[in-house]
Amino acid sequence: MKITGSRLASFLRQPGPEIAAVLLFGPEQGLVHERALTLAKTIVEDLSDPFRVVELSGAALKADPPLLVDEAAQLSMTGGRRVIRIVEAVDGVSGIFETFLKSANTQAFVVAEAGNLTPQSSLRKLFESSKNAASIGCYEDSAGDLRSVIQESLGRLGLTASVDAMAYLIENLGANRLVTRGELEKLALYVNGGGLQDSTVVSRENAIACIGDSAAMSLDLVVYAATGGDSQGLDRALAKAFDEGTSPIGILRAVQRHLQSLHLTIGKIEAGMAADKALFAIRPPINFKFKSQFQAQLRNWRLGPLAKALDLITETEMDCKSTGFPAAAGCHRALMRIAQAARARR
């Protein structure tokens, strides 16, 4: 069965005794891992328990096809249902899972983590069509989802975010759920551990001081390299952003926001507003570290080419949401085209 929408939260809390296995897949690997842990802990709270939890890889299953069924048949020495965690599950082990699901007993609960599977994936089809299995797609958080994650994460640590801080955090987090939670824990430690304030409210200044250099800087480097015509810098910045878990769609949206700021500001200047006043009016404000680069781009770009660049970003994001599209390569190609356009205008 396929678990989506309003059913998801309750399923993650209690998958049900009839479910023998769950497949988690998608481009947001931080969320895949987080949800896998959440599901596993509904059965065994301590996932380091060697008697009730075992972890296998997709490669191990390929090398020893009976391994999954054999592990599932084992009884825990301490009693209770066992958890079998599978990492790096791929279509090549679909037959192994099919055999398991046909003979499965509910003494074992299998949680499988996979990459971004297409609807044609044999593994995904198996889990979606089986009555005793479930599949859950994991995608980048929306602004609403991210707001909930921030509120929940800070709330557990005795903090809340001010309106301005929340807006900043939503703008600069969200590409990877595990990275987001790690950044929020670091923020809480910065505020509480540093003795910065007696209040339990996180300010925008706190958020910028703690998270700005780690989360936003990588995106800024991509954005300014692309729109500034620096192809070599763009290659390096994109590689770093991808390594940090930033999604192609998250990168495209950051570039889109920057292009929109350029378009709006140039429009005001062409309508007669003084350049410094138009620059001051930008919200959110331009990062002071990139102010001179932004001013140079105001002189280099014009409304027509900016509109074409925005169209390209929109088309590429739509492509990235299509099944089977190589999102990272598509993002790279689109930003290189924008960098070439910027360089040609110098």
Q: How many C-alpha atoms does 31 have within 13 Å on its Cβ side?
A: 22
Model confidence over 283-321: pLDDT tens digits? 777 776 788 899 999 999 999 999 999 999 999 999 988
Reported as a pLDDT band with limits 50, 70 and 90, residue 145 is confident
Residue 124 pLDDT > 70: yes
- The pLDDT value given to residue 197: 52
pLDDT digits (tens, 9 = 90+) for 192-209: 765 555 568 898 888 887
| pLDDT higher than 90, residue 64 | yes
Global pTM?
Answer: 0.57
What distance in Å separates the CA atoms of residue 311 and residue 21, rounded to the nearest whole number?
42
Q: According to the model, what pLDDT value does residue 213 have?
A: 53
Tens of pLDDT, residue by residue over 317-326, are 999 887 778 8
Indicate if the pLDDT at residue 13 is higher than 70. yes
Residues 6+ apart with CB under 8 A from 126: 94, 97, 98, 101, 133
pLDDT at 173: 79
Q: How does pLDDT run across 228-239, given as a tens digit for each residue?
A: 999 999 999 999
Reduce the secondary structure of the chain to three states and give it as a string.
CECCCCHHHHHHHCCCCCCCEEEEECCCHHHHHHHHHHHHHCCCCCCCCCCCEEEEEHHHHHHCCCHHHHHHHCCCCCCCCEEEEEEEECHHHHHHHHHHHHHCCCCEEEEEEECCCCCCCHHHHHHHHCCCEEEEECCCCCHHHHHHHHHHHHHHCCCEECHHHHHHHHHHCCCCHHHHHHHHHHHHHHHHHCCCCCCCEECHHHHHHHHHHHHHHHHHHHHHHHHHCCHHHHHHHHHHHHHCCCCHHHHHHHHHHHHHHHHHHHHHHHCCCCHHHHHHCCCCCCCHHHHHHHHHHHHHCCHHHHHHHHHHHHHHHHHHCCCCCCHHHHHHHHHHHHHHHHHHCC
Q: What is the pLDDT of residue 167?
A: 87
Average predicted confidence (pLDDT) for the chain: 88
Whether 214 shows a pLDDT value over 80: the answer reads no
Q: What is the mean pLDDT of residues 240-265?
A: 89
pLDDT at 215 over 70: no
Asked whether residue 260 carries a pLDDT value surpassing 90, the answer given is yes
Residue 174: pLDDT band (50, 70, 90) is: low
pLDDT computed for residue 193 by the predictor: 65
**pLDDT for 36:** 95
d(CA 93, CA 134): 16
Comparing CA positions, the residue from 128, 335, 161, 148 lying closest to residue 246 is 335
The torsion angles phi and psi of 25, rounded to 5 degrees, stand at -145, 165
- In tens, the pLDDT along 36-48 reads 999 999 999 999 8
For the segment 215-219, the average pLDDT, to the nearest whole number, is 69
CB 34 within 8 A of CB 176: no
Give me the pLDDT at residue 56, please: 94
Angle between helices 231-243 and 217-228 (to 10 degrees): 150
Task: Delineate the domains of the chain, giving CATH numbers in brackets.
Answer: 7-137 (3.40.50.300), 145-344 (1.20.272.10)
Q: Is the pLDDT of residue 23 over 80?
A: yes
With CA atoms as reference, report the closest residue to 223 among 209, 233, 212.
Answer: 233
**CA-based end-to-end distance of the chain:** 55
